Structure 1
């Protein structure tokens, strides 16, 4: 259980790192790749753990900034590409976590609060979403070299990140958990967040 509790406490960070593996250019690794990657992951997790007192919206932006640094530090890619990989990783993690928390909240509303159930649902959701994204999207990227011809992708990425944080944090906080319509409103908001992330 201590391992499961640690994973659950780091679920967003670990999910972002896992999802980044779908997009990063594995054939363009920097020299001393393994030490760089290990050090980057350690700094990522250590800093996010140290700054856990920050409000949620600030933590999410911190995670994104640190993931960008980790990717750029470990892979031989431009900052533009690193930003694209980072945003894609955030989007996929966003989809996986929203899918997972829809049944988790339903279970909590019905008196089930077992952390093992939460862990299994999160793990299953992340694995399924990552597999679908890999087969439908990133497998195509692997067949060639990703190129950008303008800054539209960066602008869309920034728009997604800001909007996703707003939808996830601000609007969820507005919902009244004691209201009878809370579960319906929560599920509808999360479904919209998923659709929004897929569209971007």
Structure 2
């Protein structure tokens, strides 16, 4: 099973994400990763490692206050660094963490490849990142609209969180059959898969 965490607030996001991933370790996983946004740039750290090792790999110098994290149990693609989440689009603008299985992943991946997208993983989740980016490039007025457009092409169960490096004050959360919760605190918001 996979685990999702997300955070927006004033505190250092990396600490909160790692703590959240640590609390989700009981679910079992083969890889872990986080995506942080600072000054309009997406910083992704992910690998086929335990959360403790991921913590060591994180650059503590990124003072981000927004981010997403994931522990993955492989369903599409083998456990390796490339298949670890978060998955990103070609421009390294959109990051996605996802639980569930897309039933039409092969079709989506084939359509993306035919459109000239170079896929860098074997995951179904990467398709979502590219579809969101395509929707934004195609004129979607917001990240929320782009995620809706992307998900209209998806069949299957999912719980996901999307982060846009150009919009560092928003996470978009969506679910269809997979549990995900949102917690609202004093000046901060949390997302978790349980």
TM-score by length of 1: 0.28
Higher strand share: 2
Higher helix share: 1
